[in-house]
């Protein structure tokens, strides 16, 4: 069943029920007829306001863009037309019952002038409720989106600050690193593995240019493997003639 049919039949049923109760109340309290009529009128208007307001809120939640919203104007116009005619016919039929005093108007009046008045009672409050429902729902959605946007900006700002601090520390380390260690914000240096540039020059043992024990070397075939005194290659035998003599 279409949405406008449901709303039209629902409002017509509410209108018929209110008129039946109004007729019974006037029969019981005839001096309070005017007040009772106003109360009945307010009940019909209030139902239309609530129902159409819910439609407006749901439509704004489903379609945040106003240009993409559902056509609730035509929906409630058709519902009001259907509700007005059905309410007129139903009220006239209910008045045929002997125990009910619903209306004193003719059938033609109920489906023309009476139906037109019922259409206004349904359509005008419904349009006002749709507008208010969309307005308040859109404002709440805008506030929620702005709140989420502010949270994202705060997180982005905190991340940027942390990145800037890390970048500054890295830049300071590169600027103060002279090849001897890493610079830290507290001013300490880690110079592990590097020599102190102001330390004394290390003194090493002199290297002799003569061979000592070569007995661990394998001798070739036919060679003498007996022990011989080491010969200082840096000294020349005085008995040995000089080269070229």
Ordered by start, the domain boundaries in the chain are 3-159
- Is the pLDDT at 176 greater than 80? The verdict is no
Which region, left, alpha or beta, applies to residue 125 given φ > 0 means left and ψ of -120 to 50 means alpha?
A: alpha
What is the Cα–Cα distance from 170 to 115, expressed in whole angstroms? 81
pLDDT category at 184 given cuts 50, 70, 90 is very low
Residue 190, beta-bridge partner list? 182
- Is the pLDDT at 66 greater than 60? The verdict is yes
- Is the pLDDT at 171 greater than 50? The verdict is no
Query: Which pLDDT value is given to residue 241?
Result: 56
Is the model more confident about 188 or about 99? 99
Query: Which pLDDT value is given to residue 242?
Result: 55
- Is the pLDDT at 166 greater than 70? The verdict is no
User: For the chain, give me the number of helices (H) and strands (E)?
Assistant: 5, 2
Residue 112 C-beta-side C-alpha neighbours within 13 Å: 5
Helix axes of 33-62 and 3-28: crossing angle, nearest 10 degrees? 160
| 94, two tokens | 């209910």
| 120, two tokens | 């206004």
Residue 161 C-beta-side C-alpha neighbours within 13 Å: 6
In the predicted model, what is the mean pLDDT of residues 163-192? 49
Which is nearest to 58 in space by CA: 5, 133, 145? 133
For the chain, give the percent of residues with pLDDT over 90: 38
pLDDT category at 175 given cuts 50, 70, 90 is very low
pTM: 0.58
DSSP H or E stretch at residue 190? strand 189-190
Which is nearest to 103 in space by CA: 13, 8, 15? 15
What is the Cα–Cα distance from 181 to 152, expressed in whole angstroms? 40
Which is nearest to 129 in space by CA: 63, 81, 82, 76? 76
Contacts of 209 (CB under 8 A, 6+ apart): 233, 234
In the predicted model, what is the mean pLDDT of residues 12-22? 94
Query: Which pLDDT value is given to residue 144?
Result: 73
Residue 189, beta-bridge partner list? 183
What is the Cα–Cα distance from 59 to 133, expressed in whole angstroms? 9
Query: Which pLDDT value is given to residue 201?
Result: 64
């Amino acid at each position: 069943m279409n949405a406008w049919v449901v709303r039209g039949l629902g409002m017509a049923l509410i209108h018929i029920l209110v008129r039946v109760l109004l007729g019974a109340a006037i029969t019981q309290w005839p001096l309070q007829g005017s007040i009772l009529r106003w109360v009945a009128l307010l009940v019909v208007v209030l139902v239309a306001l609530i129902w159409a307001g819910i439609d407006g809120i749901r439509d704004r939640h489903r379609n945040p863009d106003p240009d993409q919203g559902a056509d609730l104007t035509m929906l409630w116009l058709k519902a009001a037309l259907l509700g007005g005619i059905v309410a007129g016919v139903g009220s006239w039929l209910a008045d045929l019952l002997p125990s009910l005093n619903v209306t004193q108007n003719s059938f033609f009046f109920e489906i023309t002038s009476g139906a037109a008045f019922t259409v206004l009672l349904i359509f005008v409050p419904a349009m006002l409720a749709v507008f208010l429902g969309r307005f308040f729902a859109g404002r709440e959605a805008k506030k929620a989106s702005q709140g989420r946007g502010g949270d994202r900006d705060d997180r982005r700002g905190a991340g940027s600050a942390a990145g800037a601090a890390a970048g500054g520390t890295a830049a300071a380390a590169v600027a103060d690193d002279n090849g001897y260690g890493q610079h830290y914000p507290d001013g300490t240096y880690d110079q592990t593995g590097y020599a102190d540039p102001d330390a004394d020059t290390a003194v090493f043992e002199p290297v002799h240019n003569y061979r000592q024990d070569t007995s661990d070397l394998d001798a070739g075939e036919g060679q003498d493997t007996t022990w011989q005194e080491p010969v200082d290659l840096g000294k020349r035998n005085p008995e040995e003639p000089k080269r070229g003599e």
